[in-house]
Homo-oligomer: A and B are copies of this chain.
Amino acid sequence: MAKTKKEKEPKIKIKKAKKGDFDKIIDLVKELAAFEKLEGPDDIAVRRLYKDTFGKKRLINMLVAKEGKDILGYAIYFESYSSFLAKKTLFLEDIFITQSRRNTGIGKLFFDRLIEIANDMGCGRVEWAVLDWNIDAIAFYNKIGATPLSNWEYYRLTL
């Protein structure tokens, strides 16, 4: 029986990143940095990122959106903490979907998985930051029921 086009299309799945995914993820990290008009990781930072993801002492976790062998997006998260809740928070450091595949439900797939992971970890919250001009992302975050921490100002000391 001939398969219909729909049946042949590989489904998008959110998976834990593997070492073999790393080069494609780095392309996406650089695409995100360019999109955000920020400095992405240089070659030395890319090597640290690999070690911090796949090495003996892991500092971060990476998810990828896979369609067959293609990687359409990635997310980086780690564990932070709320002292008033006295619970872990899942902090979403990066979430990015390649330009050509925006608004196709991949962001929702990522958040569904992240919420699942956060619940398994015993987290009370998922938190992340978005650039204030990124109105498409902001509209999506509002749609999924997230709340802007509007009366908080974040501060940084660069060492």
A→B interface (CB under 8 Å): 29, 33, 38-41, 45-46, 48-49, 52, 59-60, 76, 78-88, 91, 93-94, 111, 115, 118-119, 123-133, 138, 141, 144-159
- Known A45-B85, A49-B83, A152-B130: A125·B59 in contact at CB below 8 Å: no
12 of the cross-chain contacts (CB-CB < 8 Å) are A33-B84, A59-B88, A60-B81, A123-B159, A128-B154, A129-B154, A132-B151, A141-B155, A147-B155, A147-B156, A147-B157, A148-B156
- What are the 9 closest A-B residue pairs judged by CB atoms, nearest first? A45-B86, A48-B86, A149-B154, A49-B86, A126-B157, A129-B152, A146-B155, A146-B157, A127-B156
What's the minimum C-beta distance from A140 to chain B, rounded to whole angstroms?
10
Report chain B residues within 8 Å CB of A144.
Answer: 157
Question: Measured between alpha carbons, how far is A118 from B81 in the docked complex, in Å?
Answer: 17
Name the one of B29, B84, B148, B153 contacting A83, with C-beta atoms under 8 angstroms: B29
Question: Measured between alpha carbons, how far is A38 from B85 in the docked complex, in Å?
Answer: 11
Are B152 and A84 touching (Cβ within 8 A)? no
Complex: chain B residue closest to A74, CB-CB: B83
- Known A124-B159, A129-B152, A157-B144: A94·B86 in contact at CB below 8 Å: no
Are A130 and B155 touching (Cβ within 8 A)? yes
Report chain B residues within 8 Å CB of A82.
Answer: 93
Report chain B residues within 8 Å CB of A145.
Answer: 157
